[in-house]
Amino acid sequence: MKYIITLSILFLFTNLFSQEEECTIGVANGTATQDGRPMIWKTRDYSAEPSNEVRYNYSFKYKFIYVAGAGNGTAARMGVNEHGFAMMNSTSDDMPNGSSTGLNNGETMRNALGTCKTVADFQHYLDSTNITGRNTNANYGAMDASGVAAIFETGELVYYKYDAADSPNGYVLRTNFAINGDGTGSGTERLIRTVKLVGDFHKGDSLNYKSILRHQMRDFSDYKSAPYAIPFMGSMGGQPYGYIETAVSICRNSSVSAAVIHGVLPNEDPLLSTMWTILGQPASSVALPYWPIGYTPAESDGLVTAQLADVANLIRSYLFDANDASYINTVKLRDGSGGGLFAKTFPFEDETFETVNNLMETWRSKSVLPTSEMRTAEDSLAALGYEFLLSCVNVVNSNEEMNKELHFSKVFPNPFSTSTELSYTIESNSSVDIKIYSLSGALLESVNIENLSPGSHQYKIGSNGIMYPEGILILKLTVNGKSQYHKIVKMQ
C-alpha cells in the first residue's frame, strides 16, 4: 500500500500545485511560554516535496534529528541536536542573495545542527560567512538548551538578529519577508493571522506546543486574515458547498509538514528536547514526538518515503478534491454533527499529549535518562500513529457516491487466526477489486471480479493457501473505482 500511495500522490501533488517554498515560523523563550521552556515552530509549505520524513544524522560532530524531503537528506527543514540546539527557517525572498557558492538554506541548517551547540555558535557562523558570502536568503529561527531563542533575517553578506528576549512578549514571528528586506516578500496575511493567534495564546497563558499544533497550525483564514468557521456553511469561488480557499491560510494547500520543537529548562537533559512533528498536510495528519536519541521509527523514515506521510497524503487528496487545488472540503473536517476527521484526529492527539506528558515527568525526575525507554515510546507511538491514520481514510473517503455503490462492508471475525470473511452489499452491477497488503506495503493478494450482480456477497480470506504474516493487514475494497479500507489483524 505504501508504494501505491506514494507514486500516485507524488505525481498528483507535483503537477497540480505551485512549488514555492513559503513557511510560517515562530520562536519563543521561557518568559512567553506556559511552562517556561523555549519553543520554535514551523509550518512547511513546499508542494515540490509533498512527502517529508524525520531522519537521524550521526555524520557530523553532533548527532541530530530533522525533517527533510523524502530522498533529500542533505537539506534540513527543521531539527534539533543532542545538545538541545534547534533550527528551522522560512524563505525570505526580499533579502539579498547574489551568491552562487556556499551552502543553501537547507544545507546551512543541516550543517548548523551538526556543528552548533548554542545560538551564539550559529551567530559566529553568520559572522564568519558575512565576508565570504552565503547562498542564503532566509529567516532562520534558532533555540538552545540555555533558553535563548532568536530569529535571524539572513542574506548573502548580511544578517539581522531578533532575540526573543528583546521582544516585549518574549516571542518573534515571521512568514516570507524580512523587516529589513526590500519589500518584495510574501505572507502578510499569514503573519497578521499568526500574530493574532500567538498573541491570544500569550495573553491567556496558553502558549505551548499543544496550542500551536492544534490551533495555529490547523488555522484557516481569508485574504483579510479573518478566520473561517469549520465547517464552512456556504459556497465560494464556484466550488461545492463547504469548500474554502486556503491559499493564504497558515494551514494551506501547499503545507507538507509542521513541527514544534519544545525545549528544556537549563537544568534538564537536552536529549529531552521534543520535536513534535506532523508529517503531511497538517489537517490530514497527527502530531507525534521525536527525540534526538537515535534512529527514527520506520514509519517516519522509510526506504523511499515515510509511511506516515504516505497515508496523510492519501487523506489529503480526499480533502483537497475540488477542481481548484487550493480549496479544501471543510465538511470532511467537521460535519456539524460531531463527526468528521477532526473528531477522530484531535482525541488521538490529546491522548498522545497526555501519554507523553506523563512519560516526560517521569524521565525528568531520573538521574540517568532512560534513552532505551524513550526509543521504545517513540517507536510505539509512530506505529500507533500510522495505524490510526489508516483507520481515518474511510472518514474522508466516504461520500454519497460511494454509499450508492457500496451499501455495507465488514470483516468478521477480526482479529482472526486461520480465516475470516469479508461481507459487502452492492447496489448495482459492479466491478469489484479486493486487495490485501502487509503493513509495510507488500501486496499479498489481489482479486478482481467484473460485472458482479447486485446484492450481498462474501469473500473468504485465508482459504486459498496464502500464508498471511501475523500482525496488521490492510484490506482495500474497490467498487467501480471507489475504495474503502479495513484494518484486519492476523493472530497466531
Q: Where are the alpha helices (DSSP H) in 432-492?
A: none
CATH number of 399-490: 2.60.40.10
Tell the residue number behind the cell numbers 491567556, with chain if given: 204
Q: Give every strand in the sheet of 149-154, ordered side by side.
A: 52-57, 64-69, 78-81, 86-91, 138-143, 149-154, 159-163
Please say whether the beta carbons of 122 and 87 come within 8 A.
yes
Topology alike, domains 2-396 and 399-490 = no
Which of 200, 199, 158 minimizes the C-alpha distance to 182? 158
- Residue 8's pLDDT is what? 35
The amino acid occupying position 132 is T
Angle at 268 between CA 266 and CA 270, to 5 degrees: 90
Q: Give every strand in the sheet of 482-490, ordered side by side.
A: 443-452, 430-438, 471-479, 482-490
**How many other CB atoms sit within 10 Å of the CB of residue 131?**
7
- Residue 330's pLDDT is what? 97
How does strand 24-28 pair with strand 171-174?
Answer: antiparallel
Residue 267 belongs to what H/E stretch? none
Fold (CATH) for 2-396: Penicillin V Acylase; Chain A (3.60.60)
**How many other CB atoms sit within 10 Å of the CB of residue 213?**
22
Distance between CA atoms of residues 276 and 385, nearest Å: 13
Please say whether the beta carbons of 250 and 225 come within 8 A.
no
Domain ranges of the chain: 2-396, 399-490
Hey, what's the cell of 217? 497550525
Please say whether the beta carbons of 352 and 381 come within 8 A.
yes
- Residue 404's pLDDT is what? 57
- Residue 60's pLDDT is what? 98
Angle at 19 between CA 17 and CA 24, to 5 degrees: 105
Note the pTM of the prediction, 2 decimals. 0.82
Please name the residues in contact with 362: beta carbons below 8 A apart, sequence gap of 6 or more: none
Beta strands (DSSP E) in 282-429 are: 287-290, 327-329, 406-412, 420-426
Please say whether the beta carbons of 70 and 53 come within 8 A.
yes
Q: Give every strand in the sheet of 255-262, ordered side by side.
A: 171-174, 24-28, 39-45, 255-262, 274-279, 287-290
Hey, what's the cell of 56? 537521524
Hey, what's the cell of 109? 541548517
Hey, what's the cell of 318? 480526499
**Diameter over CA atoms, the chain:** 76
**What are the average pLDDT values for consecutive 10-residue runs of the chain, which has 492 residues?**
35 39 94 98 95 97 97 95 98 84 92 98 96 92 98 96 98 96 92 98 98 98 97 93 96 98 97 98 98 97 91 92 94 92 97 97 96 96 93 76 64 89 90 83 87 92 83 84 79 80
The amino acid occupying position 317 is S
- Residue 1's pLDDT is what? 35
Please name the residues in contact with 172: beta carbons below 8 A apart, sequence gap of 6 or more: 26, 27, 28, 141, 149, 150, 151, 162, 163, 164
Looking at residue 405, the DSSP 8-state letter turns out to be H
- Residue 427's pLDDT is what? 85
Distance between CA atoms of residues 338 and 346, nearest Å: 12
